[in-house]
Amino acid sequence: MPTIVIGSTKGGCGKTTLSLVLASEISAAGSTVALLDADREGSLANWARDWTGSEAISIKAPVNEDSVMDDIADASGKAAFVIVDVEGTANMTLTKAATMADLVLIPQKASALDWERTAKTVKGITDAGRMAGRAIPFRVVVTQTSQVARSKPMQSIISSLRAKAPTLTQELFDLEAFRSIFLYRKTLSELEREGNVKTSTARAVAKQLLSEIIDILKENSK
């Protein structure tokens, strides 16, 4: 079952949000997903502690450098998708998880400085691939961008990012619904059902992201 590792040496770039957005959309589509919390801060575990939903999302925490490979092997036998949220530093947990990944996603804000950290992450994944004896597929995911008001500098940073590294077409726009996942400890579809936050754009973004990712996984498994 596909393993998606979400990592970057940069903190706060949107890793945990992306993990929950994808898990939410996978379970809304009727599939099962195991979320592995490989961040000592335990953001996923904290979210899950207050989450009262019944969707097909399981959370394994804590996951660390010693356990991560066993935890991925174990989870992939149980769920249709495995998503690993790795802490935002250069660490061996990311290297080990990457060796077992079908796809690594690197979230990045539209910042030239953040590209340096993405480049470092890409180098780490390339090295992990050398250890594993295969090229590990990865994509950058542009996060926290404005959907409407796009400045010229922001547009130029995104264009140059796309030229430097393989990047998903869909961006994880800065949206209230994505912030609300943590605020209310709910999945996107639960937020949609409750109706206290606007979720239509967020659901469309999540669907599109998942569809791009599934296409990549399918293409790579040929």
Binding stretches for ligand ATP (CB under 6 A): 11-17, 39, 41, 43, 88, 143-144, 172-175, 178-179, 182
Identify what 179 binds: ligand ATP, Mg ion, none; CB under 5 to 8 Å per kind: ligand ATP
The Cα angle at residue 150 between residues 145 and 151, in degrees rounded to 5: 115
User: What minimum distance in Å lies between the beta carbon of 43 and Mg ion?
Assistant: 4
Question: Residue with the closest Cβ to Mg ion?
Answer: 16
Would you say 10 or 186 has its CB closer to Mg ion? Answer: 10
Identify what 65 binds: Mg ion, ligand ATP, none; CB under 5 to 8 Å per kind: none
Binding status of residue 143 toward Mg ion by CB under 5 A: no
Comparing CA positions, the residue from 121, 160, 154, 163 lying closest to residue 11 is 121
Distance CA 147, CA 138 (A): 24
User: What minimum distance in Å lies between the beta carbon of 158 and ligand ATP?
Assistant: 14
Report the DSSP beta bridge partners of residue 104: 5, 138
User: What minimum distance in Å lies between the beta carbon of 18 and Mg ion?
Assistant: 9
Distance CA 64, CA 36 (A): 10
Would you say 47 or 115 has its CB closer to Mg ion? Answer: 47
Q: Residues 36-75: x/- map of binding to Mg ion (CB under 5 A)?
A: -------x--------------------------------
- Judged by DSSP in three states, 119 sits in helix
Would you say 15 or 186 has its CB closer to ligand ATP? Answer: 15
* Backbone CA torsion sign across 71, 77, 79, 84: positive
- Torsion angle, alpha carbons of 83, 80, 167, 43, to 10: -20
Binding status of residue 8 toward Mg ion by CB under 5 A: no
- The helix (H) or strand (E) run that includes residue 178 is helix 176-184
Would you say 74 or 174 has its CB closer to ligand ATP? Answer: 174
Would you say 55 or 174 has its CB closer to ligand ATP? Answer: 174
Distance CA 138, CA 101 (A): 9
Binding status of residue 91 toward Mg ion by CB under 5 A: no
